[in-house]
Structure 1
Amino acid sequence: MPSEFSEFSDADAAALYDRLNPWDPQLWPGDAFYDALVAAAPSVLDVGCGTGQMLHRARERGHTGRLAGIDPDPAALARARRRTDVEWVEGTAARAAWDGEFELATMTGHAFQCLVTDEEVAASLTAVRTALRPGGRFVFETRHPRARAWEAWNPANASEVTTATGRTLRVEHHVESVTGDVVTFTETTTEAGAVVRTDRSRLRFLDVPALDAFLASAGLLVEARYGDWHHGPLAPGSREIVTVARRP
């Protein structure tokens, strides 16, 4: 997400992301869900790894297998690369070049929704399938469109955080448009009322039939589907669509 302001750098934004979204399985059921999968897999590819928190924790908890992360954001990867015992690759999911090398691939933090066009979704899923070994699984989540999560993305639900350097920042969101299944919104960071950074993003909210069509076209079979992080069934009121897909 390119910033329109230079007072708050991409490195600052990556550090702020970690402050706002710490990987904490004790606090967040989604983190616990993925932690269990990663711990059980001898080789793991984290697609859209961001600052690498999940793979950092895996190593800290004693994972001795192969761990790799790929992300297009150089500032996020700079933080991820503070650990040198994990493979870090700068790039998009669609440009991943691994072939039959991983038992597990993940996309956490709703990263899958950053794939906005049909071409991005199709190319990314094909690359993930290719990276998996036969029988390997791809696990990811996307927000259920029926829950309309974007309706809560407004200044009334802003977050405040104190950075490691003592700065108090306010982060708020504003939805610009909802066009089909794509939501365009801005994230504005302010300090003492002054704007220090504004980022503009788009996320895609695929429903289950469209999602399954993309998976099938990429040669991935849906093995399991959940509506929450406790393996509950997917229902109309579910906020998440958690998918476990398998390479045959």
Structure 2
Amino acid sequence: MTFTDADNAALYDETDPWAGHPSAAFYDGLVDSVAEVLDVGCGTGQMLIAARERGHRGRLVGLDPDAPSLERARRRADVEWVLGKAQDARWEGEFDLAVMASNAFQCLVTDTDLRVALEAVHRALRPGGRFAFDTRYPAAREWETWHGARYPVRDLEVSYDVERVEDGVVTFTESVSRNGETLRVDRASLRFLEVAELNGFLADAGFSVEGQYGDWVRGPVTARTRSIVTVALAR
């Protein structure tokens, strides 16, 4: 039996549901406070779909480069779904809030990717608009818990193996198997940025940091922090 891209998108919804996620209350509060929201790296659209289900009546736009994920998101027709990367965004001054949840920011691996994406997000926001996102804190070395990790999901097993850690970029594979047969292997790289480096990229793109936290209840960034949660203002 094959394991399709559509199956993989559905599996993501099952293994990473938005409801009950520690970050949900943080982002949901920001989304509900404004009229027009751009979700960059929206995946299967869980955040924006949840906003509609709560009664959000404004403009909600999801942007993602993965066509199967967007196809799943399109089960909700009252949200705009756009295929593309953050770097491809061409909106100008149309949103009050842009978000990149679930560590999607780490998919911007090169300096060029970061600069072009941040400039595009800044351009999409109105002056004074906010950009909220999260990224893993490199000091926590979370990738060390991934290597060899295996998780059962229904009749499937999802496993992770880290191939390389170099210059702040972690390259790893995610494998899905059933009864010992490998059905799918995906390879990805994520960038882990230190706070000062991250804030430098933001400043260069025209953002100022409004708040930066080490958890989802707005605690400080400390040596025990696992995430850097940032809210930046478009100047």
TM over 0.5: yes
Alpha-carbon displacement from aligned partner over 1:20-64 (angstroms, at most 9, x marks no partner): 00111xx32211111111111111000000000000000000000
Gaps of 5+ in 1: 1-5, 163-167
Of 214, 220, 228, 1:241 maps to 228
Structure 2: distance between partners of 1:174 and 1:7: 22
Q: TM-score, normalised by structure 1?
A: 0.93
Counterparts of 1:33-48 in structure 2 under 5 Å? 33-48=26-41
Of 133, 143, 147, 2:140 maps to 147
* Structure 1 outlier segments of 4+, above 6 Å: none
2:13 matches 1:18: yes
Of 108, 118, 121, 2:114 maps to 121
Structure 2: distance between partners of 1:33 and 1:215: 21
1:187 partner letter: E
Structure 2: distance between partners of 1:158 and 1:61: 34
2:53 matches 1:66: no
How far has the Cα of 1:151 moved from its partner?
0.2
Q: TM-score, normalised by structure 2?
A: 0.98
SS at 1:138 equivalent:
strand
Counterparts of 1:22-33 in structure 2 under 5 Å? 22-24=17-19, 27-33=20-26
How far has the Cα of 1:210 moved from its partner?
0.8
SS at 2:63 equivalent:
strand
Partner of 2:50: 57
SS at 2:23 equivalent:
helix
Q: CA RMSD in A?
A: 0.9
Alpha-carbon displacement from aligned partner over 1:102-124 (angstroms, at most 9, x marks no partner): 00000001000000000000000
Partner of 1:184: 171
Structure 2: distance between partners of 1:51 and 1:77: 6
How far has the Cα of 1:154 moved from its partner?
2.4
State whether residues 228 and 240 of structure 1, in contact with CA within 8 Å, keep that contact through their aligned partners in structure 2.
yes
How far has the Cα of 1:84 moved from its partner?
0.7
2:83 matches 1:83: no
Structure 2: distance between partners of 1:214 and 1:154: 30
State whether residues 29 and 230 of structure 1, in contact with CA within 8 Å, keep that contact through their aligned partners in structure 2.
no
Structure 2: distance between partners of 1:212 and 1:192: 46
2:134 partner letter: E
Structure 1: distance between partners of 2:213 and 2:128: 20
Alpha-carbon displacement from aligned partner over 1:59-93 (angstroms, at most 9, x marks no partner): 00000001001000000000111111001100000
Structure 1: distance between partners of 2:227 and 2:34: 23
Structure 2: distance between partners of 1:59 and 1:231: 25
